Structure 1
């Protein structure tokens, strides 16, 4: 993604989970797991839920292209506004995007009516989106919202304190910021020129591995990325007493390692370089506050009992 004048000042993180992006990306995961025979579709085992999946699956293949009209910008304000925007998609755009989808996917006959903008078919699609959100995402929406909000607060906090470029650096290694260009691993080679429109970064609970962007570059630029639990700011947690002793970053690193992770994962969550994460881990290990265990080609770090006691003041902690 190529930034030009004004794009940095117009780059922001979405205020809340986008329900339509979460619908599409969770559908991708359900289909992948069904393909692998893992039984992940058990949550949708009722006839009503199976019907909903059958209605949505052809429009949301787990690999390759899916129509941009399914994830309109209006969904950032909530499910109802997003579905209204889907149902208001111009006929020309429906036909164009569904024709593109049909190049690599066998579509059921009812999608012809959808491409023609048939009112009844559009309403059926809207009902299917509502049912899916209710029966599949509803039971876990609180977790979705909590993870997205934690990620958003982390990114925007860095942006407020140090600027947008510093915030873009917190996405390493998933995204790489090289002044004027934001690079990501992507299934196909693409160059997106923002052209002064800025970029909306959308943290997603169900996004996995690589970020996702809209295909139509005429639409407002969006980059959806996997939301990760961020490092908590020690000055706003009960463990703020550790910051004067260890330093804010090292105290946050210790706190982060309550969930075991590799050095690369630690660097990503803490928003620091790989070498800095390795250095902090080494200091904490020498102090006996963490332990490092080799697993195949990786080294995984975890807080020791001494480190846990330091974090909790000796209070009992729940076992993971």
Structure 2
């Protein structure tokens, strides 16, 4: 049970954040919380095949953290954007004092020479060590999570929308009380405790986690209310996602209405570069046609792409 202190004033500052960086860290962390998530099992079984020795070099560092949750997970979830792009979260992590990240990681038990060397660099405030962490996370994200993030993000946004509807009906305090049975809320007085960030997670279904963010916020990572992915209506029934991958399948379906690259990014709640990558891969497969008018582009389904979507709505 995770007990979280709050003041009455904090309730007005409670907000949701859907975090790709938080999911990446939780997803590759082989702890009991992640192992009990059917979503994480299915995703990691497939995604780990795409991870090379170079793109996966941070996995030992992530897995040396506390056995129940990565030590620096809350540091990755901050900032004002409720649906940040992965690059925005890397900027947030890059702005974190290196020694703070090094301290969080140094408290863990698992040890490897490379991880120890990197942690020493962080604790010594070495910019090169922080760059290695940021570059390593970016490589891991591109290899493992980026193709699937649109599908995962959509499910997380549905969870957030459900809690926001409850908040409108019953108030913030009642919504927080029903957020997850693993969380207990305790009202306290002064001093100020900082803003409250609520972040749903598909990859950690065993329990909730709370911790301080790098900006003084308090981050609560809670299991998203989602069905087993192998059940009816889940990805196991999605033949288009099985063929193209969840991310590209979501992009193809989104282009039932033609769109620019930035418009596609907004529809899928992803970054513009990621939307451009999806569109290029679908174009190379003959499923999407792209026309250019000056600096703007327009993506639309080809007849083959249209037929695939109609057969797999």
Please give the TM-score of this superposition, normalised by the length of structure 2.
Answer: 0.57
Describe how 1:187-226 pairs up with structure 2 within 5 A.
Answer: 195-214=192-211, 219-226=216-223
Shift of residue 95, structure 1, vs aligned partner: 4.1
> Following the alignment from structure 1 to structure 2, what is the Cα–Cα distance between the partners of residues 52 and 30?
20
Corresponding position of 2:158? 150
Matched, 1:25 2:26: yes
Relative distance call for 1:215 and 1:73 in structure 2 (3 A) is closer
Moved more, 151-160 or 124-133: 124-133
* Structure 1 counterpart of 2:224, from 219, 222, 227: 227
Q: Per the alignment, do residues 8 and 147 of structure 1 end up closer, same or farther by CA in structure 2, a change over 3 Å counting?
A: same
| Alignment map for 1:1-320 (pairs within 5 Å) | 1-14=4-17, 17-29=18-30, 40-41=44-45, 43-45=47-49, 49-61=52-64, 63-64=67-68, 66-67=71-72, 70-74=75-79, 77-101=84-108, 104-109=109-114, 110-111=117-118, 112-176=120-184, 180=187, 195-214=192-211, 219-229=216-226
Q: Distance in 2 between matches of 1:165 and 1:117?
A: 40
What's the offset of the Cα at 1:70?
A: 4.8
2:200 aligned counterpart, secondary structure? strand
TM-superposed deviation, 1:176: 4.5
CA drift of 1:197 comes to: 2.6
Cα displacement (A) at 1:154: 0.4
Whole-angstrom CA distance in 2 between matches of 1:194 and 1:139:
43
Q: Describe the superposition over 1:190-228 as per-residue Cα deviations: whole angstroms up to 9, x where unpaired.
A: xxx983534211111212210111257983111011111
Contact 1:6/1:196, CA 8 A, preserved across alignment: no
Distance in 1 between the 2:125 and 2:135 partners? 16
Per the alignment, residue 245 of structure 2 pairs with none
Task: Mark the CA change 1:197 to 1:53 in structure 2 (over 3 Å): closer, same or farther.
Answer: same
Residue aligned with 2:194, SS: coil
Query: Counterparts of 1:166 and 1:60 in 2: how far apart (Å)?
Result: 35
Q: 1:141: how far off?
A: 0.8
Deviation at 1:12, TM superposition (A): 2.5
Which residue of the partner structure matches residue 308 of structure 1?
A: none
CA RMSD in angstroms, aligned pairs only:
3.7
Are the structure 2 counterparts of residues 78 and 69 from structure 1 closer, same or farther at C-alpha, using a change threshold of 3 Å?
same
Structure 2 CA distance, aligned partners of 1:175 and 1:69? 16
Give structure 1 stretches of 5+ with no counterpart: 182-192, 231-256, 260-320
TM-score by length of 1: 0.56
Gaps of 5+ in 2: 36-40, 234-313
